Structures are given as C-alpha cells and as structure tokens.
Chains A and B, each alone.
Chain A
Amino acid sequence: QVQLQESGPGLVKPSETLSLICTVSGGSISSYYWHWIRQPPGKGLEWIGHIYYSGDTHYNPSLGSTIYNTSLKSRVTISADSSKSQISLKLTSVTAADTAVYYCARGGPLVKGAFDFWGQGTLVTVSS
C-alpha cells in the first residue's frame, strides 16, 4: 500500500522560506504526478502545484511571484529525489496567509488525474 508522509518545521517566520518533504513508501514515484495541496484552518482546499516524476512542474499562479534578477519567479518550487522517494516543497516569502495544513498527494493516470493517495498533512504556522 502506498503511503505518503509529510515532514518539516511547524513554525516559520514571516518573509522566510517554508520547506517540506513528502516521503513516499510502498511504491515508486515513477509514472505519477505528485502534488502539494494546502488547507488554511477552517477553510477549503487549494492546489499548490505538482511535479511529474520526469521533473516537469506546474505551479498555481495565484500563490504569487517574486522578482528575481529582474524576472518574475514563482514563490513555489517543487522538486523530486527519486533515489529517496521524496518530493519537496519550498514556498518563499511567507506571510500569515500561508498558514495551513499542507498535504502531499499522488495523482495517477489510472484515476484521470484525481488524487488517490494523500499524506496525513502537516500544519505550518507562519508567525514571528
């Protein structure tokens, strides 16, 4: 049975970078999409972005961008380490609005892009 486990700091200071890792066990990360989704306390679900096992990524533009060397760069970066079966999430320049439970989830072609396996989620609070 595939299992996903998120890990990382539960408290991040404003303007700093949120970093989380999702460790996948019971299956390979190959041939699947791996997503990050978040849920602010008492609110609904928001898709953050995904990575395909080949490295192709897509991010939610509503999470915003920062200026990096005169060009806009998404605040979100998702990467994968297949040797460790880990998917990582980095979210820069966090504010209180980024306080949420963060989930990683698997998206598979067999379920038409639905998320068939989820981690249990990890609460990240942005506060000084």
Chain B
Amino acid sequence: DIQMTQSPSSLSASIGDRVTITCRASHSISTFLNWYQQRPGKAPNLLIYDASTLQSGVPSRFSGSGSGTDFTLTISSLQPEDFATYYCHQSYSTRGTFGQGTKVEVK
C-alpha cells in the first residue's frame, strides 16, 4: 500500500495569511495526487487533481505543486470560507489512499 502523510495535522491562521500544507507519499506516485476540502458535516470537495490542476470553479488562490513523493497545497490568501479540513489523496494505485487530513483553524 502507498501511505500518504500530511503535515501539519492542524494549523492556526488568520484571514489573508498564506497557508501551505504538505503531503508525502511512501512511494513515487508521479503526479497522481489530489487535494480535497471538507467543511464540517459536508462531503469532501475536489480542489486540485493531477498535483497542480485546479478543478473547475475552484478559486485561483488555491494551488498545488509537486511530483514523485512530495506535494504541496498552497492557499495564497486565506478567506473565511477556507477554514476546513484538507485531505490529499493518491490515485496512482488502484487502492487509493488518503492522508490523515490537515485542519485549518482560526488563529
């Protein structure tokens, strides 16, 4: 199995801050890396796929980068609606696996 490790598990930030979340895969996954945002009580929502491609309708303040084993999700200027939990997910292997999540909280 490919293990996905996110860091940090939580962070506190203010409106307007630049936020970076990292995800590391236990094996190379090329760019088969996706990011989701989950608000409380809601289903996850796809933000970025193929490591850096913004899903339709997602604000441009979200960006992704990386390949192989190391990946990053960046929010350039945090907005009130961005306080949520973020998950990375690898779709390289048939058995897709998720990171444990990063909760972005109000500072």
Using a CB–CB distance below 8 Å, which chain A residues touch chain B?
A: 35, 44-47, 58, 60-62, 103, 107, 111-116, 118-121
Contact = CB atoms under 8 A, between A and B. Distances in A.
B44 A118 contact: yes
Given A112-B32, A113-B32, A118-B43, A47 B97 contact: yes
17 contacts: A44-B99, A45-B89, A47-B95, A47-B97, A58-B94, A58-B95, A111-B34, A112-B31, A113-B32, A113-B92, A114-B34, A114-B49, A115-B44, A115-B89, A116-B49, A116-B55, A121-B43
A116 B46 contact: yes
B45 interface: yes
Binding site of B, secondary structure by majority: helix, strand, loop or mixed? loop
Contacts, number: 64
Nearest to A103: B43
Contact of A45 (B91, B92, B98): B98
Given A118-B43, A121-B43, A113 B98 contact: no
A114 to B, nearest CB: 4
Contacts of A47: 95-98
Nearest to B45: A118
B56 to A, nearest CB: 9
A107 B42 CA distance: 19
Q: Which of A45, A60, A114, A120 has the largest count of B CB atoms less than 10 A from its CB?
A: A114
A74 to B, nearest CB: 12
B100 interface: yes
